[in-house]
Amino acid sequence: MIFFTHYQLESEPYMENSGVGARVETEIELRNQKEKEEQLEKERQQLAEEKKLKEAQKKQLADARRKLRRAAENKNYWGAEISAKLACCEAVERACLRFNAERLREITARIESADNIAEALDALKVDDEVPKNVKAKNATPGDAPAQPNRWSSEEISLLVKATTVFPAGTVERWTKVANYINEHCADKNVKKTEKDVVVQAKLLRDVQDQKLRECAVSSGKRSELEWTAEEQKLLEAALRKYPRTDSARWDNIASFVGKSKNDCIKRFKYLAELVKNKKEQAA
């Protein structure tokens, strides 16, 4: 006959219950792990969708901005004087920075139907159309309405002079240009920042480039500026093929490209000027 001690009788059920408890704990851990993985996957998919949506919106905005700028350029700024063209360029850039793609498309449609610069500027009058979310974000008690950072003829003249005083390659060039304008301008109430002068310098170059193109076309110099992609490739190949040491270099290049020597030289200088402008903009 087998006798069990009091300890043995009490320990057997405990051991059985201990095994069941371990299995339950394991199942709970596995279930929790699965739920955690499912949640992480759900969050990953949500982030991927949000990223995809943002990329699509970013692409739409870039396309809308490009079309608005092109609409004004295609109208040749309605043949306005350079000061009016600059005002139009500034208004276009303000609209591009301020509005979403849908609103920009509406403005573009009005620009395309405008018959003169006045109608265009009226369509671009965005100072009183700040989106509500922007107002709520930037507004603080006691703030005065922000004034548009317009440029007077004096400030533009100082900008042109300052870019000559501080040429490309100057350390902290645009900061020095801004300080120069603020120091020499008669109106001491409006201060130009580094960002202001960079944007305005670009606008000024764009208008000047447009004016040069207009003058070239009106003077019958179409071949100087308008080159096909194939002609451009031939010019680049010829520049590599015929070195500077070749005394008949430009004659050979002209023969290779199929254009006049004068056209090839002017095209080369035009491209060199474009490269120089890009370097100045990046400086």
Task: Encode pLDDT of 201-222 as tens digits.
Answer: 877 776 655 555 555 555 444 4
Tell me what pLDDT residue 211 has: 53
- What is the CA angle 99-101-106, rounded to 5? 85
What is the rounded average pLDDT of the residues 49-61? 87
Q: What is the residue-averaged pLDDT of the chain?
A: 75
Q: Where are the domains of the chain?
A: 23-127, 151-215, 221-283
Say whether pLDDT at 127 is over 70.
no
Tell me what pLDDT residue 125 has: 75
| Highest-pLDDT range among 84-98, 150-164, 259-273 | 259-273
Tell me what pLDDT residue 282 has: 65
Say whether pLDDT at 269 is over 80.
yes
pLDDT tens-digit readout, 14-24: 445 556 667 77
Tell me what pLDDT residue 205 has: 72
Which amino acid is it at 117?
Answer: I
Say whether pLDDT at 58 is over 70.
yes
Tell me what pLDDT residue 250 has: 92
Same fold, 151-215 and 221-283: yes
Residue keyed to tokens 């609409």:
71
The fold for domain 221-283 equals: Arc Repressor Mutant, subunit A (1.10.10)
Q: What is the CATH number of domain 151-215?
A: 1.10.10.60
What is the rounded average pLDDT of the residues 64-79? 81
Tell me what pLDDT residue 141 has: 42
Tell me what pLDDT residue 138 has: 42
